[in-house]
Amino acid sequence: MARFNYLKGDSFFHRMDPTWKLVWNFVLVGTIILNFDVLYAGLWFLYILLLALFVARIPPKQYLRSISFFVGIALFIAVWHSIYYPWGGETLFEWGPIRTTRDGLIEGFAAFFRVLVIVSLSIIFTLTTDPGRMVESLIQVARVPYRLGYTMYATLRFIPLYENEAQVVLNAHQIRGVGETGKSLRSRIRLTWSMMVPLLVSGIRRAQAAAIAMDSRGFGAYEQRTILRRIQVARADQIFVFIHVIIGGLAFYYYIVLGYGAHYIG
């Protein structure tokens, strides 16, 4: 199973209009970056985690599989902040040129939770949004030109396909005894490099097939297209987004306009 494939379901986020869901994502991303306090970021992560598991109804195993790679990146950022914090503070650990301070560690964990919040929002969006329905919503609700909408749809559809195809190529290499099989960094780099050519050739073939299909159907010949499925935005979607817009506005007023809370000085 691909990490970022759409999962069919009937949760609130599955039924939510994709355009409004995208607005909700941007609002929360803007809200989380307003303050660098670790408690602020941690509470937002807990809130998004509860939404993912109980409102979006994403299986915990799938959520962990999707976020696992980014946890390592978030930990690296946290360690980097805690070691190379330039503003001093109470020293917690020191070994040669490596020095960890209390303020640096707090800021590192704040950055850790901020990364996980942004990644979790992306996971909720990708796992609960049908690419076809999203394109229809962007064209009808956001008034995006349908040519651009189809380009976005093709991109979203090809990403999980390439992930599955990469696994197929990897399995074929292992069956034939081709490529590296070790777990060292050098082996992984050589294995990834050996997969580049098959994936590139496959991508070119898919692009050519898509171009031929579009030309044969006269895609782009008219400024407007007929609509097969009319998108209706539910009032609950709007209320849900507006509530978070209000919360984001209050956070902006409190942390930026009034200047309260923890500030980033690193």
Q: Which residue reads 């009937």 in tokens?
A: 10
* Spatial separation of the C-alpha atoms in residues 52 and 60, rounded to whole Å: 9
User: In angstroms, what CA-CA distances link 247 with 4, 28, 237, 241, 243?
Assistant: 29, 9, 16, 10, 6
Mean pLDDT of 138-149: 84
Q: Convert the pLDDT of each residue in 174-216 to its tens digit.
A: 777 665 555 666 776 777 777 777 878 887 887 788 778 877 8
* Spatial separation of the C-alpha atoms in residues 158 and 202, rounded to whole Å: 11
Higher-pLDDT residue of 219, 144: 144
Residue 92 is predicted with a pLDDT of: 63
When pLDDT is cut at 50, 70 and 90, the band that residue 266 belongs to is: very low
Percent of the chain with pLDDT over 70: 85
User: In angstroms, what CA-CA distances link 55 with 9, 59, 237?
Assistant: 11, 11, 13
Residue 30 is predicted with a pLDDT of: 94
Q: Which residue reads 């959520």 in tokens?
A: 63
Higher-pLDDT residue of 30, 201: 30
Question: Over 50: is that where the pLDDT of 121 sits?
Answer: yes
Question: Over 60: is that where the pLDDT of 129 sits?
Answer: yes
Q: Which residue reads 């930990």 in tokens?
A: 75
Structure tokens at 221: 């010949």
